[in-house]
Amino acid sequence: MKRKAESNTSKSVDLDKSHWSAGLLKSMKDPECIVKEDDKIIVIKDKYPKAQFHYLVLPKEDISSIWQVKRNHQDLLMHMHNIARDLVEKQTDHEFIIGYHAMPSMQRLHLHVISTDFNSPCLKTKYHWNSFTTPFFLHSSDVSRQLHEEGEIKKVSPERCKEYLNTQLKCHKCTLQPKNMPALKRHILTHIDKQKQ
């Protein structure tokens, strides 16, 4: 499991800018990757999209991950959420989810904005699937509400993260529990076909 650069504890992490986990910082400077920018945020296309549409909203402020977010970042998180909503509203034919991974692998806070077709050759593993379809995925609206009401975001332990990532495969649209990823990938196409009808 390649999830080492960022810990979901407050322990300091190795933020080596030449490490693979600094890839988002490079993409934030690459005009080819940038979709939108303002004084506070940059939106990039995910380089290995796990669905037909997959964007990342990143703050310009050097916040290493969701676990470094403090009460004073409330407005920033709300702004990131609103930017995500704007992107989603343009794609009226697709459903989206907007949120953070409980144990991110890449440096710099990033908000996933992803369509729920999950139809992409880059979506290969059980970890990929479970990272978007179990409580490992922290929905942005829940995170903002917690920060507003409790002044902090409830920690998810590394053990719990592992449990979520190892959860038995389950379709996000019905009760089917496919036996492996190829079966799941075949199955989700049936939901996409139904949606088109």
Quick one: 57 exposed, middle or buried, by C-beta within 10 A (0-12, 13-18, 19+)? buried
Dihedrals phi, psi of 19, to nearest 5 degrees: -70, 155
Q: 12 with 24: CB under 8 angstroms? A: no
Catalytic residue among 54, 81, 101, 110: 110
Q: Which does 46 bind (CB under 5 to 8 A by kind): Zn ion, ligand AMP, none?
A: ligand AMP
Nearest one of 10, 165, 21, 15 to 101, comparing CA atoms: 165
Under rule CB under 6 A, residue 104 binds ligand AMP: yes
Q: 41 with 83: CB under 8 angstroms? A: yes
Q: Which does 176 bind (CB under 5 to 8 A by kind): Zn ion, ligand AMP, none?
A: Zn ion
Exactly one of 106, 109, 138, 147 binds ligand AMP (CB under 6 A); which one? Answer: 106
CA–CA distance, 32 with 27 (Å, rounded to integer): 8
Under rule CB under 6 A, residue 105 binds ligand AMP: yes
Exactly one of 169, 171, 181, 192 binds Zn ion (CB under 5 A); which one? Answer: 171
Exactly one of 34, 47, 139, 160 binds ligand AMP (CB under 6 A); which one? Answer: 47
Nearer to ligand AMP, 155 or 174 (CB): 155
Active site residues: 110
